[in-house]
């Protein structure tokens, strides 16, 4: 996995979800074209021509684009040097899915859809500022399958104050009827500058949160999903190839408003201001990483994976032994970490408090 | 005769009676400070003083004033109002011939009005009583006048009226200072003796001493000698504060000013010492001040152990103009190397801790304050212990005595009942009750100092809705049934958390402390039991349940930098914690356990 990935951010949404703190604005046709033109400039400016084998178009809501705008966006992909495209993910809003869009995506070689369903609990949907129902979802997912999309991720959110373990279980079981290949599940965070924060909506206490997480893990295990990252589950062989690049601390480009990339030991993040971006001022905030930073990141990211970090790979990459650079051994001894078949990973019982363990190391 | 045109005086008052504002007006009227340079409470030079609205350090200022077409020099020496700093008050009063006693027209006489007045009377100073804040709509001048006459014995015609805020009556007050307060004696011909009443360190000038020349004179370039340690220096600069420093050629008998002599070693200048000159040496020093003994002790430890030397240096610098401060090295299993420091009271302690943190940028942990206990051992030996650590094993203890204070609690009479209940709960012994007038009383109790250190101030304030004023003096030791209570975290005694407590109160206190610690100590990766024990007997227990969640949420979009920042922030938070065994404890835990939950 030495080839680079590409992330492209589409910051437009038809409506704004109350919990979302990603960078987004309400859809505006006029801005969309300005935006896409600058996006083209940015790619031409920054991209060095290396071989690319994964693409992730996220947002925002990429599926909110009109046919014409989407066509423009998908044409930009042709600028990349692609020989063997392993994964091409496109984020969709359930309501945007239709035959025309899906065929357009198929044509452009999109092979993975990520659909932000989040829940079927009507109260939750109301709080989130979303609306869809199970019946529609079944129809739309069936349409995707019919048109040949057989790698579908669905996001699932939990942890509203009015939820309990039982209602989370019920919600998840409904979602599982859609039989997605991949599930990303997150406990609700009340982030700054979100409607939930402004409305002062409380989140659930950590103890209940942890119980919900345990329940989710239990159910997904029963349904033969593999727990491969803190928040990510999949059927065998359906790990997200692109997202694994993040967790393996590998390099990727980030294009578009607020996008982050990691190229040549530099981690950069683009401006969050749409007006600046449209003026061609990407205002990249760049951090040149030291070897120590890179190794620290490797731990922070790698330990999110249930399989953890491969000791030999670490040594080959950095020419240092992981247990010489970090206090691994005492943590193996006290059961925070486990060493098995050449991999070191966080004790699965402690994965939900993994920051505590990270903080003992970096 | 220079002396006849000099007046040295202080302003004394209860806290918040408007002393600093009155001083501001005097500075303005005498032209010492132009109006445009005026900022409130000019003499309170520390940020901490202005923020808290209190005066901590004294400050001397030289004012020029014309009365009956003659030019006078007024040396105004500002004083702190709080009980903890009465030492500073007595230092400044020693440099004066008179004092203005300020009483708030809306409040009347308060506890520290009395305390400071008694100090001034002890020093044989001329007192000018003045009722301040007469501009306020709720001023009750006639009532306060009655109090001054009946309680303090002033005569009607002695009492002046003024408003520091509007300036009304301030000029008349200055005139009375000249008329009523005696000029200093002219002892210029005598052998030189100057009293050091304060000092400060200046990076360029070295130690700067504030002095009052009692006898003889000191000139620029003369060689001076510190009578306590015999060291000699050449005067490089001297002068007066106006309040800016104004250089002069000499200071003569009766004058108040500053002296710098390139003194690098701060220990050579002791407040209360006498300076003489080698060409006109005195044979005996002036009578200094009675040394103030610290009453409250606390262990002060740097959060980061490599800051120990910096802490030492900071304490030495603070000690320079705070003679009451004491310190000796202390070692704690839990907190490492630090100092056992002695303070005059809780406010003094608070102020010093804050100054170390702010002025020297050293984060510190302060352990629960302790008083000095007198331990009579079974073999008849007596030991003084200023820390629970210094307590011998209970089998060697025959009896324990603790210091008691005698209170002046001035309150509206309607609060007599609640105060009596409060004092009883604090193991107080009722002594007497004086009526100031029909509506206000002064209540006298003897209460263990340890109870005052615990939460008496807060309780008094809440019981009386802030209407009580409080002052105390130490009145000796009494035997008490005291025990040492240990606190165990995760089964291990934390030496820095041990306290001495009265046996009858031990269960309640133990319960409060473990509950408080449960609140303060964040959840850890494992369950942490907190216990309070006396000897081997556990008297209270709480559990901090294990942490259930601490994980970074979604990592999509690849914004690793932001996640990293969140982690770094958590790391910074951890740095502020102290590892006790395997438990992370925030530094507040060491002090806050003393404060009651309610």
Does A252 contact B at CB distance below 8 Å?
yes
Cβ–Cβ contact A89 with B under 8 A: no
Asked whether residue A114 falls in the same domain as residue A212, the answer is: yes
Question: Is A174 found in the same domain as A29?
Answer: yes
CB contact under 8 A, A355 and B548: no
Q: Choose the mutation target among B490, B522, B524, B557 for the interface with A, i.e. most A CBs under 10 Å.
A: B557
Q: Which of A246, A261, A294 is the last residue of a domain?
A: A246
**Chain B contact set for A187 (CB, 8 A):** 549, 553
**A179: in domain:** yes
From chain A, the residues in CB contact with B548 under 8 A are 206-207, 209-210, 352-353
> Same structural domain for residues A239 and A317?
no
3-state per-residue secondary structure call for chain A: CCCEEEEEEECEECCCCCCCCCCCEECCHHHHHHHHHHHHHHHHHHCCCCEEEEEEEEECCHHHCCHHHHHHHHHHHHHCECCCCCEEEEEECHHHCCHHHHHHHHHCCCCEEEEEEECCCHHHHHHHCCCCCHHHHHHHHHHHHHCCCCCEEEEEEECECCCCHHHHHHHHHHHHCCCCCEEEEEECCCCCCCHHHHCCCCECCHHHHHHHHHHHHHHHHHCCCEEEECCEEECCCCCCHHHHHHHCCCCEEEECCCCEEEECCEEEECCCCHHHHHCCCCCCEEEECCHHHHHHHHHHHHCCECCCEEHHHHHHHHCCCHHHHCCHHHHHHCCCEEEECCEEEECHHHHHHHHHHHHHHC
Q: Cα A53 to chain center, whole Å?
A: 17
Window 197-236 of B: residues touching A by CB (8 A cutoff) are: none
Residue in B550, B553, B562 closest to A356 by CB: B550
Does the structure show a pLDDT above 60 at A1?
no
B547–A356 C-beta distance less than 8 A = yes
Any A CB within 8 A of B549 CB: yes
Q: What's the mean pLDDT in B130-143?
A: 94
Residues A13 and A154 in one domain: yes
What's the pLDDT band for B123 if we cut at 50, 70, 90?
A: confident
Give residue-wise pLDDT tens across range B464-517. Answer: 877 888 888 889 999 999 999 999 999 999 988 899 999 998 999 899 999 999
Distance from the B114 Cα atom to the nearest Cα atom in chain A, whole angstroms: 52
Q: Is residue A300 one of the residues assigned to a domain?
A: no
State which residue of chain A sits closest to B559, comparing Cα positions. A260
Whether pLDDT at B89 is above 70: no
pLDDT recorded at residue B54: 52
Q: Is the pLDDT of residue B87 over 80?
A: no
A287 Cβ under 8 Å from any chain B Cβ = yes
The pLDDT assigned to B186 comes to 86
Mean pLDDT computed over B94-123: 87
Closest by Cβ to A297, choosing from B548, B554, B564: B564
Compare CB distances from B549 to A184, A206, A260 and report the shortest one's residue: A206
Clarify whether residues A226 and A317 are in a common domain.
no
Q: How confident is the model at residue B183 (pLDDT cuts 50, 70, 90)?
A: very high
pLDDT surpassing 60 at residue B52? no
Non-local CB neighbours of B348 within 8 Å, separated by 6+ positions: B84, B85, B296, B324
Specify the number of domains making up chain A: 2
State how far residue B584 is from chain A, nearest Cα, in angstroms. Answer: 11
Question: Is A262 within 8 Å of chain B by CB?
Answer: yes
Report chain B residues whose CB lies below 8 A from the CB of A247: 555
- Which residue range forms the structural domain that includes residue A134? 4-246
- The answer to whether residue A77 is domain-embedded is yes
Question: What is the average pLDDT across B29-43?
Answer: 65
Pairwise CB contact (< 8 Å): B547 & A297:
no
How many A×B Cβ pairs under 8 Å? 98
Give the pLDDT band of residue A33 (cuts 50, 70, 90).
very high
Classify each residue of B131-167 as buried b or exposed e, where b means 16 or more C-beta atoms within 10 Å of its C-beta: bbbbeeeebbeeebbebbeebbebeeeebbbbbbbeb
A224 and A117 within one domain: yes
Is residue B55's pLDDT more than 70? no
Which chain A residues touch B584 with a CB distance below 8 Å?
none
A261 domain-assigned: no
Closest residue in A to B546 (Cα–Cα) = A207
pLDDT greater than 50 at residue B598: no
User: Residues A222, A324: one domain?
Assistant: no
B-chain residues within 8 Å CB-CB of A358? 567
Within a domain: A200: yes
- Residue B105 confidence class, pLDDT cut points 50, 70, 90: very high
> What distance in Å separates the CA atoms of residue B248 and residue B79, rounded to the nearest whole number?
25
Higher pLDDT, B26 or A103: A103
Where does the pLDDT of residue A24 fall: very low under 50, low under 70, confident under 90, or very high at 90 and above? Answer: confident
Considering only CA atoms, which of A304, A349, A362, A172 is closest in space to residue B526?
A349
Separation of alpha carbons A126 and A41, rounded Å: 39
pLDDT at A290: 95
Please indicate, yes or no, whether residues A64 and A177 belong to a single structural domain of this protein.
Answer: yes
Identify whether residues A30 and A178 lie together within a single domain.
Answer: yes
d(CA B217, CA B186): 11
Question: Which residue of B549, B558, B561 is in closest CB contact with A252?
Answer: B558
Residue A87: which residues within 8 A CB-CB, separation 6 or more?
A: A53, A54, A55, A56, A111, A112, A240, A241, A242
Please say whether the dihedral angle defined by the alpha carbons of residues B390, B393, B397 and B400, taken in this order, is positive or negative.
positive
The per-residue pLDDT for B286 is 83
- Pick from A359, A360, A361, A362 the residue to mutate for testing the B interface (most B CBs within 10 Å): A359
CATH at residue A146: 3.80.30.20
Q: Are A260 and B560 within 8 A, CB to CB? A: yes
Residue B474: both structure tokens together: 């130490």
For A:51-80, CB contacts with B below 8 A are 58
- What pLDDT shows up at residue B156? 93
pLDDT of B345-365, one tens digit each?
Answer: 887 888 899 889 988 999 888
Residue B581 contacts A, CB cutoff 8 Å: no
Interface of B with A in 344-373 (CB under 8 A): none
Domain for residue A118, yes or no? Answer: yes
Chain B 515-534, residues with CB within 8 Å of chain A CB atoms: 525
Q: With beta carbons under 8 A apart, name residues in chain A contacting B547.
A: 206, 353, 356
| Model confidence pLDDT, tens digit, residues A146-159 | 999 999 999 999 99
Å from A102 to nearest chain B CA?
A: 23
Instruction: Identify which of B50-54, B507-511, B575-579 has the greatest average pLDDT.
Output: B507-511
Q: Name the residue facing A7 among B550, B557, B567 (closest C-beta).
A: B557
Interface test with B, best of A356, A357, A358, A360 (most B CBs within 10 A): A356
Residue A266 within a domain? no
Average pLDDT, chain A: 94
The minimal CB distance from B563 to the residues A300, A354, A357 is found for A300
Give this prediction's pTM. Answer: 0.70
Mean pLDDT, residues B248-263: 91
- CA angle, A240 as apex, A242 and A96 as ends, to 5°? 90
Q: Is the pLDDT higher at B461 or at B362?
A: B362
User: Which of A109-113, B10-14, B242-246 has the highest average model confidence (pLDDT)?
Assistant: A109-113
- Which of the listed residues A246, A267, A291 is the one where a domain comes to its end? A246
Of B547, B560, B561, the CB nearest to A353: B547
Instruction: Indicate whether A183 and A326 sit together in one domain.
Output: no
| Domain contains A137 | yes
User: What is the per-residue pLDDT for B56?
Assistant: 47
Query: Is A8 touching B (CB cutoff 8 A)?
Result: no
| Interface predicted TM-score (ipTM) | 0.90
- Cβ distance B567 to A358 less than 8 Å, yes or no, reads yes
Q: How far apart are CA B493 and CA B496, in angstroms?
A: 9
Are both A223 and A118 inside the same structural domain?
yes
CB-nearest to A260 from B525, B561, B567 is B561
- The gap from C-alpha B342 to its chain's centroid, in whole angstroms, comes to 11
- pLDDT tens for A275-320 read 999 999 987 899 999 999 999 999 999 999 999 999 999 999 999 9
Q: Does A356 contact B525 at a Cβ distance shorter than 8 Å? A: yes
Chain A, nearest residue to B561 by Cα: A267
Which band of pLDDT confidence, cut at 50, 70 and 90, is reported for residue B85?
Answer: low
Nearest CB to A58; choose among B557, B562, B564: B557
| Averaged pLDDT for residues B593-598 | 52
Flag whether pLDDT at A144 surpasses 90: yes
Distance CA B214, CA B256 (A): 9
- Mean pLDDT calculated for residue range A85-100: 96
In which band, very low, low, confident or very high, does the pLDDT at B554 lie, cut at 50, 70 and 90? low
**Mutate which of A165, A246, A290 to disrupt the B interface (most B C-beta within 10 Å)?**
A246
Question: Are A236 and A316 part of one and the same domain?
Answer: no
Tell whether B597 lies on the interface with A, counting CB pairs under 8 A: no
Contact A209 B548 (CB under 8 A): yes
| Domain C-terminal end among A246, A263, A297 | A246
């Amino acid at each position: 996995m030495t080839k680079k990935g590409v992330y492209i951010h589409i910051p437009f949404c038809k409506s704004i979800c109350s919990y979302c703190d990603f960078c987004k604005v309400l859809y505006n046709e006029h801005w969309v074209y300005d935006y896409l033109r600058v996006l083209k400039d940015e790619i031409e400016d920054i991209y060095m021509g290396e071989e690319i084998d994964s693409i992730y178009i996220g947002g925002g809501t990429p599926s909110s684009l009109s046919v014409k705008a989407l066509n423009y966006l998908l044409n930009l992909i042709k600028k990349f040097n692609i020989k063997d495209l392993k994964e091409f993910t496109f984020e969709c809003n359930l309501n945007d899915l239709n035959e025309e869009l899906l065929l357009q995506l198929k044509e452009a070689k999109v092979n993975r859809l990520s659909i932000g369903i989040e829940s079927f609990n009507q109260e939750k949907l109301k709080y989130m500022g979303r609306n869809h129902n199970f019946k529609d979802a079944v129809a739309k997912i069936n349409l995707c399958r019919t048109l040949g999309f057989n790698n579908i991720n669905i996001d699932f959110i939990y942890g509203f104050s009015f939820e309990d373990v039982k209602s989370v279980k019920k919600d998840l079981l409904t979602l599982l009827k859609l039989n997605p290949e991949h599930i990303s599940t997150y406990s609700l965070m009340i982030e700054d500058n979100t409607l939930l924060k402004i409305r002062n909506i409380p989140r659930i206490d950590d103890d209940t949160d942890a119980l919900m997480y345990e329940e989710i893990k239990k159910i997904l295990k029963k349904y033969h999903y593999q727990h491969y990252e803190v928040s990510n589950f999949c059927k065998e062989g359906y790990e997200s190839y692109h997202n694994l690049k993040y967790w393996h601390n590998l390099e990727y480009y980030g294009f578009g408003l607020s996008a982050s990339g990691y190229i040549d030991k530099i981690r950069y993040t683009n401006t969050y201001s749409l007006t600046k971006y449209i003026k061609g001022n990407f205002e990249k905030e760049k951090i040149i990483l030291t070897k120590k930073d890179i190794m620290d990141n490797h731990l922070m990211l790698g330990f999110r994976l249930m399989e953890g970090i491969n000791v030999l790979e670490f040594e080959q990459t950095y020419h240092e032994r992981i247990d010489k650079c970090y206090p691994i051994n005492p943590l193996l001894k006290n059961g925070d970490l486990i060493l098995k078949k050449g991999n070191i990973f966080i004790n699965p019982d402690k994965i939900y408090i993994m920051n505590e363990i990270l903080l003992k190391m970096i | 005769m220079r002396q006849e045109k000099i007046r040295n005086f202080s302003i004394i008052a209860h806290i918040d009676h408007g002393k600093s504002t009155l001083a501001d007006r005097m500075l303005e009227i005498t032209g010492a400070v132009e109006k445009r340079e005026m900022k409130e409470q000019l003499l309170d030079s520390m940020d901490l003083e202005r923020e808290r609205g209190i005066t901590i350090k004294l400050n001397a200022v030289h004012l020029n004033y014309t009365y009956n077409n003659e030019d006078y020099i007024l040396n105004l020496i500002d004083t702190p109002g709080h009980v903890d700093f009465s030492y500073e008050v007595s230092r400044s009063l020693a440099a004066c011939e008179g004092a203005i006693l300020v009483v708030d027209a809306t409040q009347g006489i308060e506890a520290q009005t009395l305390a400071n007045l008694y100090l001034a009377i002890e020093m044989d100073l001329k007192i000018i009583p003045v009722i301040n804040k007469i501009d306020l709509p709720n001023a009750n001048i006639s009532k306060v006048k009655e109090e001054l006459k009946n309680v303090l014995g002033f005569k009607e015609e002695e009492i002046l009226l003024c408003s520091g805020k509007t300036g009304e009556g301030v000029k008349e007050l200055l005139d009375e200072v000249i008329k009523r307060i005696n000029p200093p004696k002219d002892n210029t011909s005598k052998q030189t003796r100057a009293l050091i009443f304060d000092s400060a360190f200046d990076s360029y000038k070295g130690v700067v001493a504030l002095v009052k020349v009692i006898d003889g004179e000191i000139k620029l370039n003369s060689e001076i000698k510190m009578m306590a340690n015999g060291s000699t220096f050449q005067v490089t600069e001297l002068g007066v504060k106006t309040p800016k420093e104004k250089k002069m050629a000499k200071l003569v008998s009766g004058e108040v000013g500053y002296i710098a002599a390139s003194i690098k070693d701060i220990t050579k200048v002791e407040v209360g010492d006498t300076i003489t000159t080698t060409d006109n040496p005195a044979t005996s020093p002036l009578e200094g001040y009675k040394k103030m003994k610290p009453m409250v002790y606390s262990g002060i430890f740097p959060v980061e152990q490599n800051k120990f030397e910096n802490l030492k240096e900071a304490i030495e610098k603070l000690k320079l103009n705070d003679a009451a401060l004491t310190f000796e090295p202390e070692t704690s299993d839990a907190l490492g190397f630090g100092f056992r420091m002695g303070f005059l009271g809780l406010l003094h302690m608070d102020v010093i801790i804050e100054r170390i943190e702010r002025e020297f940028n050293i984060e510190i942990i302060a352990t629960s304050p302790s008083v000095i206990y007198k331990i009579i051992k079974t073999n008849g030996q007596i030991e003084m212990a200023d820390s629970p650590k210094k307590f011998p094993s209970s089998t060697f203890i025959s009896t324990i005595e603790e210091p008691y204070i005698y209170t002046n609690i001035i309150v509206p009479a309607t609060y007599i009942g609640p105060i009596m209940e409060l004092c009883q709960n604090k193991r107080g012994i009722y002594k007497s009750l004086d009526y100031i007038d029909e509506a206000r009383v002064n209540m006298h109790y003897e209460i263990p100092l340890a109870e005052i250190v615990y939460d008496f101030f807060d309780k008094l304030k809440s019981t009386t809705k802030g209407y009580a004023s409080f002052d105390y003096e130490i009145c000796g030791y009494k035997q008490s049934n005291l025990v040492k209570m240990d606190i165990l975290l995760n089964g291990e005694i934390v030496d820095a958390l041990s306290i001495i407590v009265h046996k009858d109160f031990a269960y309640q206190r133990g319960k409060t402390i473990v509950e408080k610690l449960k609140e303060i100590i964040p959840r850890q990766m494992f369950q942490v039991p907190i216990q309070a024990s006396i000897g081997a007997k556990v008297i209270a227990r709480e559990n901090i349940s294990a942490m259930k969640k601490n994980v970074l949420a979604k990592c999509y979009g690849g914004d690793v930098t932001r996640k990293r920042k969140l982690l770094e922030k958590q790391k910074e938070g951890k740095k502020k914690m102290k590892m006790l065994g395997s438990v992370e404890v925030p530094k507040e835990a060491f002090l806050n356990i003393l404060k009651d939950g309610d």
